[in-house]
Amino acid sequence: MPHGIRRIVLDVLKPHSPRLTDLALMLSRDECVIGVNISLKEVDQSTESITITIEGDDLSYDSIKEILEQAGAVIHSIDQVVAGRRFVEEVTLQPENS
């Protein structure tokens, strides 16, 4: 039965190399990773701002961070973490009408 961290969403800054496709493959080689989604947010002269969503069973933040650092990337923030036996999606509460 799945446990531990099951999804992590990271805000990352990386150089243009490696390409997004190569970075996705690097991350997906981790035996705990089931899937990787990388979205490009912004490009400047020497870097790319990306959002990386990784899903799996018992993900290791330290292993993910190490892979990203080997690729020359820097984690700016952890934007979401899902852990436990099932996924719990974020709920947006509506303000009450006065």
Q: How far is CA 46 from the centre of its chain?
A: 21
pLDDT of residue 42: 97
* Residue range 22-41: mean pLDDT, rounded: 97
Instruction: Determine the structural domain holding residue 57 and report its residue range.
Output: 5-83
What per-residue confidence (pLDDT) applies to 98? 57
Write down the pLDDT at residue 97: 72
Residue 61, pLDDT score: 97
* Residue 12 located in a structural domain: yes
Q: What's the burial of 85, exposed, middle or buried (CB within 10 Å: 0-12/13-18/19+)?
A: exposed
The count of domains in the chain is 1
CATH number of residue 33's parent domain: 3.30.70.1340
79 is a domain residue: yes
* 91: in domain: no
In a domain, 98, yes or no: no
Flag whether the pTM goes above 0.95.
Answer: no
